[in-house]
Amino acid sequence: MDKQIFHNVCPRNCYGTCGILSTVENGKLLKVEGNPKHSYTRGRLCAKGYAYTEYVYSPRRLKYPLRQFPRGSGNWQRLSWDEALEIIASKMIELHDRYGSNLACGYNKFSGNLGILHYATEGMFRGLGSYTKVHGDLCLSAEGDALNYNRGRGELLRDPEDMAKARGIVLWGVNPARTAVHQWSFINRARDKGAKLLVVDTLFTPTAAQGDSYLQIRPGTDGLLAMAALKYLWQMDRLDMDYIQEHVHGWEAFASYLQEEVSLEEASAITGVPLEGIKELAEMYLESPCATWVGFGLQRYSNGGQSVRGIDALVTLTKNQNQPGGGLYYFNFLDIFPLHIKNFPRPTEQEKASVRSLNIIHFAQEALALENPPLKLLWLAGHNPFSQGQNFQYWQKLVNQLELMVVVDLFMNETTAQADIVLPAASPFEEYDLHAGYWHQWIAINQKAIPPFYEARSDLEIARSLTQVLNKLRPGFSSFPWRLSALDWIEGELTPEIRERLEIDTWQELLHGPRKYKLNGSRGGQSYPTETGKFQLMSRDAKESQLPALVRFQEQRIEPPYPLRLLTPQSLLRLHSQYRELSWLNLEEKTDTVEINPQDAEQRGLKAKDHVTVFNDRGSCSRRVEINAYLPQGVVVMAQGETTNQLLTGQNTDMGIHTTGARGAAFYDSWVEVKKK
């Protein structure tokens, strides 16, 4: 058979959402490459993307449904799909008959695959009428609310490709050298035309190493740095007061705050950024258009949202938001699809059924508190909470309470190890799907390019087949429209309005390759959908949410219970806990070290390679010491996930309720001590 080329999409929770061209021969995936027609991916993938040919055929991929008996024993038995689905369906029906509703059944799904058809898991539960669901987000939350308070609801819609037009770029708490490698072609295009690159990060990252300037900042103090930069510009008479009068609400209160409470010297002492650094940063904003990219790292603090409000004020008060290529870049989700797969119409009595919702960040703890009925069946998909979550003691208790725990995944991991039944998920090459990124503006259909690996099924196929079994055992049990295929759902999502913006007549045209979604012009920062129609330095909504009404620096209120702050950022060759199985990606990742500053090490009598215990009142981990002279004092770094996350303290970010239904996870508000073994 001839070689065929298919269009695929990397579905990870990643800035890239890359367009892939897959070469297939005799049903086998031979090669993957970036789609050159995709103006964001531009013919490239990251190392994880290029490893898909290993990923798809990895001998460690799950091939069949499996049952573990007893739970946690490692004693796995192969099941047929019929057997597995019948066990699950019978348990659901039994729980329904015992409790008189399906509330004892719940799911917790997260970001393993961000394809639209992966909402099938939500749809499958919605079909039950009553059920227990999940809300909130482990990844981001605070920034969305922060920007709503300042600018009103609505998307930012900065096309990241426009960063190429900027005359100055500030990368603030973002590490694209690891987390968004494709952005470099746009950053470098701007630099080729003379743009300066300034990086603000607590860690001297590979991104910082690329900067013309690097400002090392103490964790959680970015709001103060932004305030100090604004104070400096104001003192130097470099703010356009006419513009501020016209477009900004709350200037008077803000000005008296700057006047009375912000001192450059004090800001320098608290942030650790020297005075010259504060001035250099401030002056970047006078080189309009200046692009500021605020990453997710910055907001993983109990004052993270308030820090973002401050940075946003710096961007806007210096008039950069209006400039082509300038302004604030952040998460840029095209929230355009109707998502019929999780919003399909149901019978009236089901519409009235009650649903319980748990915050993903405190899922296990909240689940344990449920009564009448307790949670008895849990379905996990696209999520590895036993590695990436926190508060494992609650998770363990929850597992003990469950009568059935089902996990859908492609590989065994810390979470499948706790399951009764594990169902093998299809890889992106084995299913149709539809994708919109959360950073660029490309929309794409992911084609089914190869047959499923052994008995793997997509989350949609699993939802369809379980629904069928439920309705066979108990007619009318679920209203999930199981007859609809992947392509039926995709057709329904590509509404006439969306097709118009993609400049296609029929949805099938998208099968021939991704398209860029045309925006209806940009708002340009002239008027804001806020209560006052202006950019708000003072927000009534914020005040009503018991937050500071004014944009200002918010000190962290937590008294550090241990001397060293633990940072656990993303790593280059992992996507959180994913890809550990692949030999191609196992070159450089160190998961057994704790990086520590030389003075902190000396105080504790530690030398490189020493075996140590990193601990707090939550738990303890064995690690080897790595001395890192670039680390600020008082900060240690460990790879996230696995055992590390037992040390997290479960704090919330200050904001997030409006955007995701719950405040976010302040992963970096965690503290530890290190001692020699």
Ligand X SMILES: Nc1nc2c(c(=O)[nH]1)N[C@H]1C(S)=C(S)[C@@H](COP(=O)(O)OP(=O)(O)OC[C@H]3O[C@@H](n4cnc5c(=O)[nH]c(N)nc54)[C@H](O)[C@@H]3O)O[C@H]1N2
* Residues at the interface with ligand SF4 (CB under 6 A): 10, 12, 14, 16-18, 45-46, 48-49, 181, 575
> Does residue number 41 form part of the binding site for ligand X (CB under 6 A)?
no
191 binds, among Mo ion, ligand SF4, ligand X, none (CB under 5 to 8 A by kind): none
Which residue, 229 or 360, is less far from Mo ion as judged by CB?
360
Distance in angstroms (rounded) separating the CA atoms of residues 230 and 282: 7
Between residue 432 and residue 471, which ones bind ligand X under the rule CB under 6 A?
459
What letter would DSSP give residue 298? Answer: G
Contact between 179 and ligand X per CB under 6 A: yes
Distance (Å, whole) CA 416 – CA 68 = 10
Q: Which of 203, 564, 621, 666 binds ligand X (CB under 6 A)?
A: 203
For position 112 contacting ligand X by CB under 6 A, the verdict is yes
Our CB check for ligand X shows the closer of 257 and 668 to be 668
Give residues 64-83 in contact with ligand X (rule: CB under 6 A). none
Cβ nearer to ligand SF4, comparing 207 with 467: 207
Nearer to ligand X, 159 or 534 (CB): 159
Residue from the set 85, 116, 128, 139 that interacts with Mo ion by CB under 5 A: 139
Between 34 and 123, name the residue whose CB sits nearer to ligand SF4: 34
- The tokens of 49 are what? 């993307």
Query: What gap in Å lies between CA 119 and CA 110, rounded to an integer?
Result: 10
Q: Is 295 in the site for ligand X (CB under 6 A)?
A: yes
Regarding 174 and contact with ligand X (CB under 6 A), the answer is yes
CB closer to ligand X out of 117 and 262: 117
409 belongs to the binding site for ligand X (CB under 6 A): yes
CA–CA distance, 157 with 4 (Å, rounded to integer): 36
Instruction: Report the nearest approach of ligand SF4 to the CB of residue 417 (Å).
Output: 25
| Cα–Cα nearest to 282, from 229, 219, 204, 237 | 229
582 touches ligand X by CB under 6 A:
no
49 binds, among ligand SF4, Mo ion, ligand X, none (CB under 5 to 8 A by kind): ligand SF4
Separation between Cα atoms, residue 243 and residue 246, nearest integer Å = 5
Alpha carbon distances (Å) from 3 to 7, 28, 104, 274, 320 = 14, 10, 49, 59, 49
Token pair, residue 278, equals: 């504060």
- Say which entry of ligand SF4, ligand X, Mo ion, none residue 601 contacts (CB below 5 to 8 A, set by partner kind): none
Return the one option of ligand X, Mo ion, ligand SF4, none that residue 202 interacts with (CB less than 5 to 8 A, by type): ligand X
Q: Rounded to the nearest whole angstrom, what is the least distance from the CB of residue 288 to Mo ion in the complex?
A: 31
Check binding of 575 to Mo ion (CB under 5 A).
Answer: no
Count Cβ atoms below 10 Å from residue 399 Cβ, excluding itself: 18
> Which residue has the CB atom at the shortest distance from ligand SF4?
49
Q: Is 408 in the site for Mo ion (CB under 5 A)?
A: no
Complex with ligand X: residue 217 or 445, whichever CB lies closer: 217
Residue choice 220, 289, 327, 656 for contact with ligand X (CB under 6 A): 220
Both tokens assigned to 577: 């806990």
Report which residue type is found at 273: V
Out of 56, 410, 436, 443, name the contact with ligand X by CB under 6 A.
410
Does residue 575 bind ligand X (CB under 6 A)?
yes
- Residue given tokens 């460990």 in the structure block: 638
Q: How many amino acids of this chain bind ligand X (CB under 6 A)? A: 57
- DSSP strand E in 277-388: where? 290-294, 327-329, 355-359, 377-381
Instruction: Encode 499-522: b = buried (16+ Cβ within 10 Å), e = exposed.
Output: bebbebeebeebeeebbbbeeeee
Alpha helices in 193-303 (DSSP H): 206-210, 222-235, 241-247, 251-261, 264-271, 275-284
Helix 275-284 vs helix 264-271: crossing angle, to nearest 10? 100
Q: Which residues bind Mo ion (CB under 5 A)?
A: 139
